[in-house]
Structure 1
Amino acid sequence: MGEYSKALSSYERALEIRKIALTPNHSYLAQSYNNIGSVYNNMDEYSKALSSHERALEVLKIALPPNHPDLAISYNSIGSVYYNMGEYSKALSSYERALEIRKIALPPNHPNLATSYNNIGEVYDKMGEYSKALSSHERSLEIRKIALPSNHPHLAASYLDIGSVYYNMGEYSKALSSFERSLEIQKIVLPPNHPDLAASYNNIGGVCGKMGEYSKALSSFERSLEIQKIALPPNHSDLAFSYNNIGSVYCKMDEYSKALSSYERSLEIRKIALPPNHPHYASSYNNIGSVYDNVGEYSKALSYYEKAQDIWKKSLPSNHPHIAFVKRNIDIVKMKMQLFFLNDKINWPS
């Protein structure tokens, strides 16, 4: 967090100087606003990030031709903030506008086109539209294979994203292959505690968990968390993912007290790092509910499932699989409560 604060201070000082030295709508002012917005985005301060990026876009619309590549950068940055806020339809709109501009302004295999396809794929993945997500990510990878060296980090990112879609589609062997290819590249090109390595270990752990290889899954998730604790601020949202994933493995191993502890730590971080109706809140509530469900504390389970349902209904499309999933959890736990009540009545002493 200290490095982000230093960067923010430097960018704000540069903006002050540029405001004095330059005309009010000079493109260098937009550059400063974009830099400031990027830091706020990395700090999970999304409203400040959005304000800065939108100010940059306002300046660029005045200063530049309508299809200038720098406008695409601003739309892309705004999309990134909306994505992190869980506002996926707004993110998609911004990313698609960036892609439209880049198709006009750039050569057909320019790396920035790959970035746009990649970002659009990530949004579709979050929205549960997996075939569209896979198509976008594969288009991104095609461009990157042409435009970049064979071990470039962006190729690793493409393999990781393709693996994520396969994971969500339940094609775990394909997912694992993609994640391992990503990790191979990252180990060559990145420092040993880079956050992207943590993401790969997290994803490999997720696949191993789905395949029933729980000790491998736990080892991968814990390696991810070790890296994140070194590389990221203490309440960064990525740490919440790792705690959540560790909790998931413990839950599958029937170690419910450890699972609950990990899920609650994940939720604590998300309460600090994310807006109140972010979909990841719902994931935490659902997972905590599942622990209480498994240990027979059905009223607590129902309460957490209903919190998850409320948030997902507000933040996701109505046909998203998560909404159907949590409704099923609610229906099942209500049935369990009714059976428990009936059994209790039958066995109650007269």
Structure 2
Amino acid sequence: MDEYSKALSSYERSLEIRKIALPPNHPDLATSYNNIGIVYDNMGEYSKALSSYQRSLEIRKIALPVNHSDLATSYNNIGMVYDNMDEYSKALSSLERSLEIRKIALPLNHPDLGTSYNNIGVVYSHLGEYSKALSSYERSLEIRKIAFPLNHPLLATSYNNIGMVYDNMGEYSKALSSLERSLEIRKIALPLNHPDLATSYNNIASVYSHMGEYSKALSSYERSLEIRKIALSPNHPDLATSYNNIGMVYDNMGEYSKALSSLERSLEIQKIALPLNHPLLATSFNNIGMVYDNMGEYSKALSSLERSLEIRKIALPVNHSDLATSYNNIGMVYHNMGEYSKALSSLERSLEIRKIALAPNRPDFATSYNNIGMVYSHMGEYSKALSSLERSLEIFKTALPPNHALWATSYNNVASVYYHMGEYSKALSLLERSLEIRKIALPPNHPLLATSYNNIGMVYANMGGYSKALSFYERSLEILRKSVPSSHPYLVCVKKNIENLRNKF
């Protein structure tokens, strides 16, 4: 935080001097406003950043030719702030205006054109329009291959971004291939402990985490942290990111005390490094809350999640998607507490925000409908539950590639409603479909495969098919023993299912 205040102080002092020394619309004044905007942007104070960038643009419009490249820079910066604010149509409009100017002002394969395509890709990625994101990122990469040497760091950035889109699409082998190519370039182009190498290891770890390969994820996250400890100041926000990500892996592994320890370390750093109401502090409180939820400590979970929501209300626009995330997570805690009316209220508020903030077929919509459906299921309102869950599945089918792991989750959850309705044949059919997808989409020992085998076992057990049930339970247990610690709550649950079933023989 001190570094940002020092930077602001210097830039504002520079601006004061330039206001006295220069004419009112001199380009150097625009540079000052632009630099002040960059600092506010990094502080997460997006409205202030936007104001400074727009003042810079006003001056440049007066002082410079209509297609000057500095105007393109202004439109680019404004677009990226709108992206951070979840105002994606405004973001795209500004970024496309920047690209138009650069096409006129610059040679065909100028690096700044690569930047424009890259940033447009960023917005499409946030919109969940992954094919458009890929197209923009690949166009950026083409330009960079012409404009730069073979192992230039910006090529690594392109491969990194392409890899992260494939990760979001659930195409993990393609994601790893791109991210490892990015890492190879960075190893050649950059010093041994450069922060961008830490970013590569971090993103590779993220893919392994989504694949359920938690030991590999931890190893990569810890390598990333090691580099950041050497390369960065002790309270740099990126160190907080590393501790956060390590904490989330431990959460997925069911090692909740380790998860809390890492997440609390992350929060400590953020409190020192960032303004009091920075969005990243909200993320930390959110993640701590979700660990407490998994531990069954619901009052602590609600306290952390409500603190996260308070910060987001201050830091972000009124319909930002992160607010929807907060309401969603609070709703799920109430759901776990059995307070279904409160759960529905929060989940419906989340859905309202997502309808305003996001494109119609964004996967987050499907998540909202899914969670609302699960609450109705536990309330015994099965027709409403099925309606919501089937809506969720439709959106996932539109938004995501065939055989994405989230399709499997939807089939699983629809099956759970039929299971509670006693319609075991329908439940079984859907669970088998879910399992087929997971076998295609996930590594062979992913915990979600264990979930599928366990759930199929439960259906067979209720149908009286005890030997089949036992076979599926044992397959579930076999996977969990390879993928999670022996103390993991789900592994304990499956063991109990096997024990209960054996008592029936």
Normalising by structure 1, report the TM-score: 0.83
Query: After superposition, where does 1:202-221 map in structure 2 within 5 Å?
Result: 202-221=244-263
Amino acid at match of 1:138: E
Single out whichever of 270-279 and 150-159 deviates more from structure 2: 270-279
Amino acid at match of 1:205: G
Q: Is the counterpart of residue 182 in structure 1 residue 229 in structure 2?
A: no
SS at match of 1:338: coil
Map of 2:134 onto structure 1: 92
Question: CA–CA distance in 1 between the matches of 2:419 and 2:236?
Answer: 46
Single out whichever of 133-142 and 33-42 deviates more from structure 2: 33-42
Amino acid at match of 1:275: L
| Residues matched between the structures, number | 338
Q: CA-to-partner distance for each residue in 1:242-291, whole Å, 9 max, x for gaps?
A: 626742x4454345676688553486679379415432344455467667
Q: Is the counterpart of residue 321 in structure 1 residue 405 in structure 2?
A: yes
Task: Identify if the C-alpha distance between structure 1 residues 250 and 198 changes in structure 2 by more than 3 Å, giving closer, same or farther.
Answer: same
Map of 2:439 onto structure 1: none
Query: After superposition, where does 1:152-301 map in structure 2 within 5 Å?
Result: 152-191=194-233, 194-224=236-266, 231=274, 236=279, 239=282, 243=286, 246-247=289-290, 249-250=291-292, 252-255=294-297, 262=305, 263-265=328-330, 271=353, 274-275=357-358, 277=360, 278-283=362-367, 286=370, 299=382
* 1:148 shift after superposition: 1.4
**Runs of 5+ in structure 1 lacking a partner?**
341-350
* 1:235 shift after superposition: 8.7
Contact 1:85 1:274 in 2 (8 A): no
* 1:117 shift after superposition: 0.3
Q: Is the counterpart of residue 104 in structure 1 residue 146 in structure 2?
A: yes
Task: Identify if the C-alpha distance between structure 1 residues 305 and 190 changes in structure 2 by more than 3 Å, giving closer, same or farther.
Answer: farther
Amino acid at match of 1:203: N
Q: Is the counterpart of residue 150 in structure 1 residue 192 in structure 2?
A: yes
Q: CA-to-partner distance for each residue in 1:83-120, whole Å, 9 max, x for gaps?
A: 11221111111000000110111001111000000000
* 1:304 shift after superposition: 5.6
SS at match of 2:180: helix
Question: CA–CA distance in 2 between the matches of 1:292 and 1:241?
Answer: 30
Question: CA–CA distance in 1 between the matches of 2:368 and 2:233?
Answer: 31
Query: After superposition, where does 1:72-83 map in structure 2 within 5 Å?
Result: 72-83=114-125
Amino acid at match of 2:329: E
Question: CA–CA distance in 2 between the matches of 1:71 and 1:338?
Answer: 59
**Runs of 5+ in structure 2 lacking a partner?**
1-42, 306-327, 332-346, 425-505
Question: CA–CA distance in 1 between the matches of 2:301 and 2:371?
Answer: 9
Question: CA–CA distance in 2 between the matches of 1:304 and 1:257?
Answer: 28
Compare CA radii of gyration and give the structure with the larger one: 2
Query: After superposition, where does 1:98-137 map in structure 2 within 5 Å?
Result: 98-137=140-179
Amino acid at match of 2:409: F
Amino acid at match of 2:159: Y
Map of 1:5 onto structure 2: 47
SS at match of 2:94: helix
* 1:212 shift after superposition: 2.7
Normalising by structure 2, report the TM-score: 0.59
C-alpha RMSD over aligned residues: 3.4
Query: After superposition, where does 1:32-47 map in structure 2 within 5 Å?
Result: 32-47=74-89
